[in-house]
Amino acid sequence: MRGALLILALAAVSLVGWAQTAEGLIAQADAIFQELWATEYSPEAHVALQARLQEAISLYEQALALDEANVHVLVMLARCYYTLADMFLAEDGDKKAAYIQGQGYGERALRADPTFVQIEEGQGFVAAVQACENLEAIYWTYANWPRKDE
Low-confidence winner among 9-13, 33-37, 62-66, 129-133 (lowest mean pLDDT): 9-13
Domain boundaries, the chain: 2-147
pLDDT tier at 28 (50, 70, 90 boundaries)?
very high
pLDDT at 14 over 60: no
Distance between CA atoms of 17 and 43, rounded to whole angstroms? 36
State mean pLDDT over 71-95.
97
Average pLDDT of every residue of the chain: 90
pLDDT value of position 6: 43
The reported pTM is 0.85
State the greatest distance between any 2 C-alpha atoms of the chain, in Å, as a whole number: 68
pLDDT at residue 132 above 50?
yes
Predicted local confidence at residue 112, as pLDDT? 97
DSSP 112: T
The 3 state secondary structure assigned to 27-89 is HHHHHHHHHHHHCCCCHHHHHHHHHHHHHHHHHHHHHHHHCCCCHHHHHHHHHHHHHHHHHHC
Angle, alpha carbons 27-33-39 (nearest 5°): 135
- Which tens digits make up the pLDDT trace of 96-110? 999 999 999 999 999
Selecting from 1.25.40, 2.60.120, 3.30.1380, 1.10.3470, what CATH number does the domain 2-147 have? 1.25.40
